[in-house]
Amino acid sequence: MQDPHISAAFDRDLEAIQAMIMKMGGMVEAAIVEAADSLERRDMEMAGRVRLNDKAIDELEEQVNEEVARLLALRSPVASDLRTVLSVMKISGNLERVGDYAKNIAKRTAVLIDLPQVDGATSAIRRMARAVEAMLKDALDAYIQRDADLAEDVRNRDVEVDQMYNALFREFLTHMMEDPRNITSCMHLHFIAKNIERMGDHVTSVSEQVIYLVTGEAPDDERPKGDSTAYEKLEIQ
């Protein structure tokens, strides 16, 4: 750890905003898991809780923004302190978006509960959500431990989430072609899978902030990418 500031109040303020990020991160991790679990177990109550908790995440983000503005105005941070403040601001934005995706999943769950199940879809989605949650956990650990190597590892794992999304995309497409009655469920399930894939991108962005914070330089754009669905063509026999 770094030496303390001569001004103890400065240390206290910096710790406070980072504690807010960790709190937010914990809430978002729970939201990811609960959104996927409530889908698989068809648990309306749990889905409702995810939607409700998102408000608290949004409020926390507001508080982070206010606190960051105050800290910039009063303390004029430089060097690693400045990078800490900038990273807090960006990471809170990423976490807030991940929270929104979880909420969106919970909303779609409410619709899907009344529809016939699509074989194996919800457990595949849950596996994907678990993978993203594990990435987020490691990204936050890397943040608090200032561990650029762990952050780099998280960044490289996003490709796995992308591949899971590709597989689901094709699967849903096949189901919809087989039987038009599957279209409603599969559309919602597809958006859920897409939401989780986007979560992975935001978690990747969090780990990139960690690399910037530790090294002072943003990582280059070269990282494995696996989402190829943008080039996918529908082939009707």
**Chain contacts with other proteins (rule: CB under 8 A):** 2-7, 10, 76-83, 216-217
* CB of residue 161 to other proteins, shortest distance in Å: 30
Nearest to other proteins of 69, 218 (CB atom) = 218
Q: 155 vs 55, 138, 224, CA distance in Å? A: 28, 10, 9
Answer for the pair 88, 21: CB distance below 8 angstroms, yes or no.
Answer: yes
Nearest to other proteins of 15, 62 (CB atom) = 15
* CB of residue 10 to other proteins, shortest distance in Å: 7
115 DSSP assignment = S
* CB of residue 84 to other proteins, shortest distance in Å: 10
Nearest to other proteins of 5, 130 (CB atom) = 5
Nearest to other proteins of 44, 69 (CB atom) = 69
In the block, tokens 């952050």 appear at: 151
Supply 43's token pair: 């648990």
**Nearest residue to 18 via CA among 73, 97, 80, 99:** 80
Q: Which residues contact 106 (CB under 8 A, 6 or more apart)?
A: 35, 38, 47, 48, 50, 51
* CB of residue 144 to other proteins, shortest distance in Å: 19
* CB of residue 209 to other proteins, shortest distance in Å: 15
Q: Which residues contact 188 (CB under 8 A, 6 or more apart)?
A: 108, 111, 112, 115
Answer for the pair 135, 203: CB distance below 8 angstroms, yes or no.
Answer: yes
Nearest to other proteins of 11, 40 (CB atom) = 11
